[in-house]
Structure 1
């Protein structure tokens, strides 16, 4: 992975984490928190879409949508665990 790919990866993670934060609780988590939530969300989203047999394509938009949905699922699960 070259430096540009790493930058794009981190940018998609940050945007996905920020968007998921807005959707699920009304705010972001700071730059590092957004990146972490977005990256973990991308893994979760890729896993869930793979199980369902859904592919959004290999471009940046598909990756961003997958990461946002996965991050939203992550935040939902974390919120449910915190309430329990």
Structure 2
């Protein structure tokens, strides 16, 4: 799992855990349902993570980017993340 990042919220870690276990494309609503959070909040956080290059969004379907996979694997330090 990823290290603590100063600008992450608690749900961001839950989002990463979901995608670590399910390497799929999913809507914010599907992710929210599976991690027991409100869909609008998950969608806002996914957009922040997308702005940081960790996720891509095609038509409302979010997927980890290669950079996001590297981050999840622990190969990216916090100082390498663009703070949104």
TM-score of the pair, normalised by structure 2? 0.27
Q: Of Structure 1 and Structure 2, which has the larger fraction of its residues in helix?
A: 1
TM-score of the pair, normalised by structure 1? 0.27
Structure with greater Cα Rg: 1
Q: Of Structure 1 and Structure 2, which has the larger fraction of its residues in strand?
A: 2
